[in-house]
Structure 1
């Protein structure tokens, strides 16, 4: 059963259904157990492989730092460095400017991005559940606003499409143009290095003349409308952004400098394969020494390692919570017992996920640093030791 209440660009819809019985809730909990077991298994894979990856990356970085040769961007090409790991800092260079003929934009850079947005209807929904007369009701409030969006919003999926219809496609498409040849000093960059140049800056259109009456320049946007302050649904605006300024041009600024660590292969920079199995193909914006580049990579490796550790623990906690949810379902008809069981299951999931996560991390280190693995295992056993230590005291009391 569904009821609807409207008002302006907002309306509310109430959906009613019978409260699920015990067998239905038990069936849903059984499905949660299956999902929980899958997440629980996945967490072991994430945690275990993450430790090996972290150590392999650290070893590869140390190996690279011990072999890297720093080059000067103005020195002539030295073929003695063929197949060696080199470090190079200097300004970017490209053969010719990147050009967008539709808007008359020309910038000498590694990348030029055309970002298109359309003024469209956007639907927002907010729901709340409540029980009334033995039925479970869901009250959903839908609100409609007009906003600039970079993707086409399909209004056919709206709860109320009448009066909120969006165009099915944009008149202009977003696109990114990449320079075919990019080099620093005497060495050309590989595609992998060029892909890492993503520090996009908005191109200023200050003083740029209006092309015609249907194209207005306002606030660094090209508007396909005569009045950008009062857009209508379907109007389009375009903004340009560049990454990696190059060449000797003064507009919109001097060439950007980069720091690169990669293998010199002839006059090209390509990935360097370490003995640990990783590839070193590193690029940072700005002038950095080889030591600074590798220090940043070590820091990035540590951040990634801890992010995956937290993610693996979260998967394990969620998996255990879903797997034990069926116990809560068996007693959810008794209010007091239900709350106690809910708190107990959460504490159980937290304790077990912490201990098993630490055990898994320790297993990942046992072949590389056995002492560290033992210390982590001892930390994982700490909750069990505390529990057994407190048990006799309670028995005596």
Structure 2
């Protein structure tokens, strides 16, 4: 059950006015930063396109690509090493193991509501809500509003990715140091996979350690689960052909490193990269729009503060500026995205020039011709 605490404070007009100018400065940073983010986002390297240009080589036989080129290699990935986490998981036939460690801890949520009063003062009501959650990153409880009643102990161990030092696909050695790895398979927790004599117990799909139970945990209790990439899994690796029999990290366009493993074939891996690129592009576009909108609206904070002497005027002014800045941010975001696309992609520029040329020729072709007298 959540615990809630209420804090109320009154801030006078004399204190609010100087802080409103600070908001303008912060808003200016957000506003200008949004242009940089949108411009950078449109120029991000599409790794799906990079992967499409990779030379596909066979896991057996001699390489069909020159050294230093980006290649893709598909086949069963194996290793002679056994891998565990030296905590609960016994060494086994894994290429990589992801340990997800979660602690039952307090989480603080803060919600502030404001109400302006006649004369420019403001009443701020802050509601602090404390809930118990499973989390990989417990909050620092010393910073809580009610820290003495809600204490998170230090986390005894954390989430971590483990990998073997050497692996191969067919005749090729895969450098493991910088390789981005996914671990798609859950590791069953039984006597064959767990270290004997561990000071913990298995509950469902977790190794549980603490004073409570998984159904009724106590603050500080830990639960751990594992996923892995098993030796022998069919995988596709994109990387640089560093030698006739080894792959390492590839330095792509604009110094973007590309060295990644997918537990799938080449076609599915490229589809995954394309979907990730599209999703992140739209997320960053939305973030850039919000930064621009919030930043633009912050320019009017001093005006809103001065109008708050008469609260009804402040509310009306705040609504109007938010509507206006919304459309301004929308237009500027779209324009920035279009200009950035043209800068980064000459084909888009040529297309725009072609459309403009057709439009101009069409307009000129419709102009009436003057008739010469006597004809």
Note whether the superposition's TM-score is higher than 0.5.
yes
1:332 aligns with 2:316: no
Q: Does the C-alpha gap of structure 1 residues 243 and 44 become closer, same or farther in structure 2, counting only changes over 3 Å?
A: same
Q: Indicate which of 24, 29, 41 corresponds to 1:38.
A: 29
Contact 1:71 1:87 in 2 (8 A): yes
1:123-162 → structure 2 map (5 Å cutoff): 123=108, 128-129=113-114, 137-140=123-126, 146-152=132-138, 154-160=140-146
The whole-number CA distance in structure 1 between the counterparts of 2:117 and 2:309 is 18
Deviation string 1:112-149 (CA, Å, 9 cap, x unpaired) is 23444444455555555568999855555556555544
* Counterpart selection for 1:199 from 154, 177, 183: 183
Q: Residue 346 of structure 1: CA displacement?
A: 1.6
CA gap of 1:376–1:49, structure 2 versus 1, over 3 A, is farther
Q: Shift in Å at residue 206 of structure 1?
A: 4.2
Which residue is 1:355 aligned to? 331
**8 Å contact from structure 1 (residues 210, 216) kept in 2:** no
Alignment of 1:1-397 (within 5 A): 10=3, 12-17=5-10, 19-21=11-13, 23-51=14-42, 53-54=43-44, 57-58=45-46, 65-66=52-53, 68-73=54-59, 75-78=60-63, 81-103=66-88, 105-123=90-108, 128-129=113-114, 137-140=123-126, 146-152=132-138, 154-160=140-146, 164-167=150-153, 169-172=154-157, 174-191=159-176, 194=179, 196-206=180-190, 211=196, 215-224=200-209, 228=213, 233=218, 236-246=221-231, 255-266=232-243, 267-273=245-251, 278-289=256-267, 293-367=269-343, 368=346, 369-370=348-349
Question: Post-superposition shift, 1:323?
Answer: 1.0
Gap regions ≥5 residues in structure 2? 357-375
User: By how many angstroms is 1:98 displaced?
Assistant: 0.7
Distance 1:144 1:283, change over 3 A: closer
1:148–1:319 Cα change, 3 Å? closer
Count of aligned pairs between the two proteins:
350
After superposition, the C-alpha distances for 1:197-253 in whole angstroms (9 at most, x for unaligned) are 13354422246689559532222333335863576746644424133111xxxxxxx
TM-score w.r.t. the length of structure 1 is 0.71
When normalised by structure 2's length, the TM-score is 0.75
Q: Can you give the 5+ residue segments of structure 1 that lack an aligned partner in the other structure?
A: 1-7, 247-254, 378-397
Tell whether the 8 Å contact from 1:221 to 1:237 is kept in structure 2 after alignment.
Answer: no
SS for the counterpart of 2:8 is strand
- How far is 1:90 from its partner? 1.2
For the residues of structure 2 that align with 1:61 and 1:166, how far apart are their CA atoms?
43
